[in-house]
Amino acid sequence: MERKTISRAVIKRLPRYYRYLGDLLESGVERISSNELSDKMQVTASQIRQDLNNFGGFGQQGYGYNVQHLHTEIGKILGLDRTYNMIILGAGNLGQALANYSKFARWGFKVIGIFDVDPELDGTMVRDIPIRMVSELPRYLKENDVQIAALTLPRNQAKAMAELVTANGVKAIWNFAHTDLKLPEDVIVESVHLSDSLMQLSYNMSNYKDKTQKKSRTKEK
């Protein structure tokens, strides 16, 4: 089945839809119209329908969307219907925070290894995972099927580590180092730049303009 390329903007919204649908599911809501969801999520109903129809018709005229079904389908689109083995490179606070976040496992992301260069940490347990030494990494990657590596280490180590793991079969990098990685086309890189985020916050604080001044968007009826 040929599917047209989905824009980055749409992909970024999918996890948010998934989250809201999960919440609705928890509250026992069975069905929802694009208009109701629009109210909750502060996006236009038109955009919701447009976004979803990139992937097929999940709704029903006169009814709306079945919450359970839509939630499941978006999960599939996001690839949450399978499991991934993930390792964490850098056992600092951030690395340990990721390792401890239990929901990742529920979405299929299994942390199976944590690595650091600090000999002091060797063998320390994080949850049920022992911290291993980076020197063991090549061997580890040959013996274990790892799809994702999270880089929670200093920026000057990020490039070398990214190259090491991708050379050993890792297909995706979740990058928390404060640098952009240039890797072969077939390696997926998703970066979380905390400092960029904080700077945006700071920009908005310095340049606050009352948004109520701008005319409000017209609602669809």
Partner DNA sequence: TAGATTGTTAATCGATTAACAATC
Distance between alpha carbon 11 and the CA centroid of its chain, in Å? 10
Q: Which does 112 bind (CB under 5 to 8 A by kind): DNA, its own copies, none?
A: none
Q: Which is nearer to its own copies, 129 or 172 (CB)?
A: 172
- 204 binding DNA? (CB under 7 A): no
Rounded CA separation 219/221 (Å): 6
Q: Which is nearer to DNA, 11 or 198 (CB)?
A: 11
- Compose the 126-165 pattern: x for residues touching its own copies by CB under 8 A, - for all others: ---------------------xx-----------------
- 144 binding DNA? (CB under 7 A): no
Longest dimension (CA), the chain: 63
Whether residue 101 contacts residue 127, with contact meaning beta carbons closer than 8 Å, is answered with no
Taking CB under 8 A as the criterion, the residue among 14, 43, 68, 219 binding its own copies is 14
Tell whether the torsion through CA atoms of 43, 44, 45 and 48 is positive or negative.
negative
Residue 92, marked binder: yes
Q: Which does 58 bind (CB under 5 to 8 A by kind): DNA, its own copies, none?
A: DNA
Q: Which amino acid is at 4?
A: K
Q: Whole-number minimum distance, CB 118 to its own copies, in Å?
A: 14
Reduce the DSSP state of residue 93 to 3 states and report it.
helix
Residue located via tokens 């629009």:
38
User: Strands 148-151, 129-133: parallel, antiparallel or unpaired by DSSP?
Assistant: unpaired
Residue 91, marked binder: yes
- 98 binding its own copies? (CB under 8 A): yes
Q: Which does 34 bind (CB under 5 to 8 A by kind): DNA, its own copies, none?
A: DNA
- 65 binding DNA? (CB under 7 A): yes
Contacts of 77 (CB under 8 A, 6+ apart): 14, 55
- 53 binding its own copies? (CB under 8 A): no
Whether residue 93 contacts residue 154, with contact meaning beta carbons closer than 8 Å, is answered with no
Nearest to 117 by CA among 98, 141, 90: 90
Task: Mark the binding-site residues for NAD(+), compressed into ranges.
Answer: 90-95
> Contact positions toward DNA, by CB under 7 A?
7-10, 32-35, 43-47, 49-50, 52-53, 57-65, 217-218, 220
